[in-house]
C-alpha cells in the first residue's frame, strides 16, 4: 500500500516535471499541483521558485505569458482556484505569496481606452509574503509591498506600500500591519 502511494507520488512528480519542460517553465524543484492542472500558454519566460503550489478543485487556473514577456514567481508561493495571470511584459510575484481564489493579475489592459491611446501595458510587482484575498484584481502598473494584505474583492491600481492592509475599489490602505522580520503568513 505504502509502496503504491509513493510510486504514484513519484509518477505524478515526474509528469509535472515533464509538463513544465513542455511549457518551457524554468523550475527550481517540482511544483505541487492539486486537483486540475493549470492551463499554461507560455510564449515568453516563466521562472518558478521552489515549493510553489497550485490548487484547483473547482475552477481552472490560467497562466498566459505572451512573447517577450516574463513571469517570475518566488519560492513557496500559493495559487488558489481560478487564478488568472496574464503577462504581456513583466509580472513578478515574490516569495511565499498567497493569491486567493478567482484573483486576476494582468500587466495589460488588452484593449485601448480610445483611439488616441495605446493599450496600457505596465509591469506588476507583488512582494514577498503578500496575501491577496479572493476575487481581487491586480491591474497593469500595480505594485504591492512585502507582507501586505489585499482584502477580498479589491481592485489594485497603483502602489500599495509594504506591511499594510488595503481594501476596496480602487484599493486603499486601511491600516498598517506590525510584521516582524522573517515572519511568514500560514
Ligand atoms: C481583510 C480581512 C483579512 C479582515 O481583516 P481584519 O483586520 O480582521 O479587518 P476588519 O474586519 O477589522 O476590517 C477592517 C476594516 O476593513 C474593512 N474591510 C474588511 N474587509 C474588506 C473587504 N474585503 N473589502 C473592503 N473593506 C473591507 C472593514 O469594513 C473595516 O472597515 P472599518 O474600519 O471602516 O469598519 C478580511 O476581510 C478579508 O478580506 N479576508 C480575505 C479572505 C480571503 O479571501 N481568503 C481567500 C483564501 S486565499
pLDDT category of residue 87 using cuts at 50, 70 and 90:
very high
Region 174-186 average pLDDT: 97
Would 185 be classed as within a structural domain?
no
Q: Give how far Cα 34 sits from Cα of 31, 144, 169, Å.
A: 10, 27, 31
Would 181 be classed as within a structural domain?
no
CATH of the domain at 143: 2.160.10.10
Would 184 be classed as within a structural domain?
no
Convert the pLDDT of each residue in 149-162 to its tens digit.
999 999 999 999 99
Average per-residue pLDDT for the chain: 97
**Which residues in 15-38 are b (16+ Cβ under 10 Å) and which e?**
ebeebbeeeebebeebbebeeeeb
Say if CB 160 and CB 133 are below 8 A apart: no
Is a pLDDT exceeding 90 seen at residue 1? no
Would 162 be classed as within a structural domain?
yes
Domains of the chain: total = 1
Is a pLDDT exceeding 70 seen at residue 168? yes
Say if CB 118 and CB 112 are below 8 A apart: yes
pLDDT category of residue 2 using cuts at 50, 70 and 90:
low
Active site residues: 111
**Which residue minimizes the CA distance to atom 14 of ligand 1?**
174
Would 52 be classed as within a structural domain?
yes
Share of the chain above pLDDT 90, in %: 97
Would 75 be classed as within a structural domain?
yes
Region 81-97 average pLDDT: 98
Name residues contacting ligand 1 (CB within 6 A): 80, 98, 100-101, 133-134, 149, 151-154, 165, 167-168, 174
**Residues spanned by the domain of 56:** 2-176
Would 131 be classed as within a structural domain?
yes
Would 186 be classed as within a structural domain?
no
| Single pTM value for the model | 0.96
CA 150 – ligand 1 centroid, Å? 9
Share of the chain above pLDDT 70, in %: 99
**Which residue minimizes the CA distance to atom 15 of ligand 1?**
174
Amino acid at each position: 500500500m505504502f509502496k503504491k502511494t509513493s510510486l504514484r507520488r513519484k509518477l505524478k512528480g515526474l509528469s509535472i516535471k515533464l509538463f513544465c519542460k513542455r511549457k518551457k517553465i524554468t523550475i527550481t524543484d517540482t511544483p505541487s499541483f492539486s486537483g486540475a492542472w493549470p492551463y499554461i500558454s507560455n510564449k515568453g519566460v516563466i521562472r518558478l521558485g521552489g515549493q510553489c503550489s497550485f490548487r484547483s478543485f473547482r475552477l481552472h487556473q490560467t497562466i498566459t505569458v505572451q512573447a517577450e514577456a516574463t513571469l517570475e514567481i518566488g519560492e513557496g508561493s500559493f495559487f488558489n482556484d481560478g487564478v488568472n495571470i496574464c503577462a504581456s511584459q513583466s509580472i513578478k510575484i515574490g516569495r511565499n505569496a498567497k493569491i486567493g481564489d478567482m484573483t486576476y493579475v494582468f500587466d495589460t489592459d488588452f484593449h485601448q481606452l480610445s483611439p488616441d491611446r495605446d493599450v496600457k501595458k505596465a509591469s506588476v510587482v507583488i512582494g514577498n509574503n503578500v496575501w491577496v484575498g479572493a476575487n481581487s484584481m491586480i491591474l497593469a502598473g500595480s505594485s504591492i509591498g512585502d507582507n501586505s494584505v489585499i482584502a477580498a474583492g479589491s481592485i489594485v491600481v497603483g502602489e500599495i506600500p509594504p506591511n499594510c492592509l488595503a481594501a476596496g475599489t480602487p484599493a486603499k490602505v486601511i491600516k498598517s500591519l506590525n510584521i516582524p522580520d522573517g515572519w511568514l503568513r500560514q
